[in-house]
Amino acid sequence: MRVVSIETVREVGPQLGIAPTCAALGLPTATYYRRISPPPLAAPRPSPPRTLAVAERTAVLAVLHEARFVDLAPAQVHAQLLDEERYLCSERTMYRILAEHHEVRERRDQLRHPHYAAPELLATAPNQVWSWDITKLLGPAKWTYFYLYVILDIFSRYVVGWMVAHHESATLANKLIAQSCARQGILPAQLTLHADRGSAMTSKSVALLLSDLGVTKTHSRPYVSNDNPFSEAQFKTMKYRPAFPDRFGSIQDARSFGHSFFPWYNTEHRHSGLGMLTPHDVHYPLRAGRAAGRGAGARAGRGVRRPSRALRRRAATPAGVADRGLDQQAGGGGRQARTRCAGRGRHKLRVKRPVQPRGGRAPYPGIPRNRHPSRPRTTPR
């Protein structure tokens, strides 16, 4: 495209002016002048007057190939020759001569780390990949805690199960996971359950339960703190709520807060990662109706408040772009929640979503346009 612009300026520039033509084509004037008159090639570097002749360089290489010098570094060879009152060249020149003949390399076998690409788990619908974690809730006195267990669907961000207990236990985790799977109707080989590497998550009893249920178990990478971002982001949403207390007076108090928070989170909280839909709308087949209603309301509002602007927008927007919702993106693919992992059973969660088309922002943007997926910030537990 830039080549065509330069040729156009070259043809019509003398009649209309170089600067106005470049401005009309969006081409910087400096780029045009740089392309039509490239800088001259640099002159070859002159050879220094003290450069060794070809015969001298061959003699130095022959000395370096001698049996007593073949395993020594040029610095040691240079020092031994000086002790023998022989000076052939400098140490740096020896390195240059060896480099010309490709004889300079690391003598030891160094470990070369290849580019590491983490495997991925892809969630294209609810109840395909869950994430679960445990966080501490401050109790009534210092050094007293209650433990909140939360299981989250990473596609819809819907909390499918939660529990508050006095301690962290694999037995309690088994009970919560079994109840959540039964409530959601999970079939064998349908679900992947991701967690960090806590004691309850890596326990043998949990592994046996998941094996009996036909659920694949994955874990975060060792010594990596941000491989479970969805659960950590949900904990931050909870702990940053105005109603979240500094301390809970009792375990009944903590459970009462959960009974009010999690229904709000699932059914009322407009999630920025879901196109301002609630997790309940995405987890269950309600998002298409929400998208249609928002699209109709937005089109009607634009026509009433800004008639002329709405007409211009409608003329500039390709057909069907304004009606695309969460499941009808430009490429035909729906929303995807992607999990990345590192090694067998060690997974890192990450979301990847399609980009909104450039022909104008849709009244219901299922995914924010031109926004790169990023890890949510998390709060320390």
Nearest in space to 226 (alpha carbons), one of 17, 124, 6, 376 = 376
| Residue 358 DSSP code | S
Is the pLDDT reported for residue 337 higher than 60? Answer: yes
Which is higher by pLDDT, 110 or 352? Answer: 110
Nearest in space to 219 (alpha carbons), one of 206, 235, 233 = 206
Rounded to 10 deg, the angle between the 54-64 and 91-100 helix axes is 90
In a 10 Å sphere around its CB, with 0-12 CB exposed, 13-18 middle and 19+ buried, how is residue 55 labelled? exposed
Query: Measured between alpha carbons, how far is 74 from 88 in angstroms, rounded to an integer?
Result: 12
Amino acid present at 127: N
Query: Measured between alpha carbons, how far is 2 from 12 in angstroms, rounded to an integer?
Result: 15
With a pLDDT cut of 70, the percent of the chain lying above it is: 74
Main-chain dihedrals φ then ψ at residue 132, nearest 5 degrees: -135, 155
Using DSSP's 3-state secondary structure scheme, residue 131 falls into strand
Amino acid present at 254: A
Residues 37-86 have pLDDT tens digits of 877 888 888 888 888 999 999 999 999 999 999 889 999 999 999 999 99
Nearest in space to 155 (alpha carbons), one of 180, 124, 184 = 124
Residues 118-160 have pLDDT tens digits of 767 778 889 999 999 999 999 999 999 999 999 999 999 999 9
Query: Measured between alpha carbons, how far is 352 from 335 in angstroms, rounded to an integer?
Result: 8
Residues 261-300 have pLDDT tens digits of 999 999 999 988 888 889 999 998 776 667 666 666 666 6
Structure tokens at 356: 């909104």
